[in-house]
């Protein structure tokens, strides 16, 4: 099973930049999207179906043009879960799960902490999310949680760890949460295979950051421990330029 996760920073914008043609070439079985910024009725769904994704599920934010996640699949899931059932987590459309015989795949979009109010919401979300996953694993032990976590876990995951040490996304408490989450039973699939520096998945639109590879690794495929032995590969795909993020891929 080949799974791609991609923060598209607006699915309609990404479609206009060749997203669907790119998806055809990658031939992933499941695609997790984040920050779709649209409601289902605003999206060209036919183009995804023509690319082979006849099963697609969209969980949009209550606020139009904001946040939202999706899962596209070539085969029909056994079950699809929209949200977590926790209102403070769900009103911005941040969690969507599709269950397959082999595993359950979640598309997650952790809030960013752009100001004090949003940082408080992000930290609360992170704690609620960890508790939710701890319970979910009891029923669905084979979990793959893909998405934009809005956290750089280690210094190797950010181009300038010194200057950004007090910036949300690289705060000590965010990084410590990420460590605890991994220790609770997950593997960072990319780091399982690749320990090289300068590997990023997001670049600011400012100051020619992408061309200079001044980026952050915010996007992850986290695989639960029972699936670790089945990991085949995990890579970042920076050649895809439909967004300020690039996709990440895991294969089991």
Catalytic residues: 148
Pairing of strands 202-203, 95-99: unpaired
Neighbours of 252 (CB within 10 A): 20
Pairing of strands 215-216, 79-82: unpaired
The full DSSP string for 222-237 is EEEGGGGGG--EEEE-
Return the exposure string of 226-246: e unless at least 16 CB atoms fall within 10 Å of the residue's CB, then b.
Answer: ebeeebeebbbebebebbbbb
């Amino acid at each position: 099973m080949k799974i791609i996760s991609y923060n598209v920073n607006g699915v309609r914008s990404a479609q206009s930049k060749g997203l669907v043609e790119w998806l055809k070439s990658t031939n992933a079985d499941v695609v997790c999207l984040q920050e779709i910024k649209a409601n289902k009725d605003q999206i060209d769904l036919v183009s995804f179906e023509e690319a082979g994704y006849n099963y697609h599920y969209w969980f949009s934010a209550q606020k139009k043009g904001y946040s939202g996640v999706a899962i596209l699949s070539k085969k029909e899931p056994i079950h699809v879960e929209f949200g977590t059932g926790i209102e403070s987590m769900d009103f911005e459309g941040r969690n969507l799960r599709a269950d397959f015989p082999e595993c359950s795949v979640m598309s997650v979009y952790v809030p960013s902490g752009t100001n004090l109010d949003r940082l408080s919401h992000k930290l609360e979300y992170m704690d609620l999310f960890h508790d939710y996953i701890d319970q979910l694993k009891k029923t669905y032990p084979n979990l793959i949680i893909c998405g934009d976590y809005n956290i750089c876990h280690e210094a190797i995951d950010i181009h300038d760890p010194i200057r950004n040490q007090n910036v949300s996304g690289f705060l000590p408490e965010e990084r410590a949460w990420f460590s605890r989450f991994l220790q609770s039973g997950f593997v960072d699939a990319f780091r399982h295979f690749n320990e090289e520096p300068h590997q990023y998945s997001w670049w600011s639109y400012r100051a020619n950051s992408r061309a200079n590879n001044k980026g952050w690794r915010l996007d992850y495929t986290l695989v639960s421990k029972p699936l670790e032995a089945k990991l085949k590969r995990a890579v970042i795909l920076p050649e895809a330029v439909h967004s300020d993020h690039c996709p990440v891929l895991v294969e089991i």
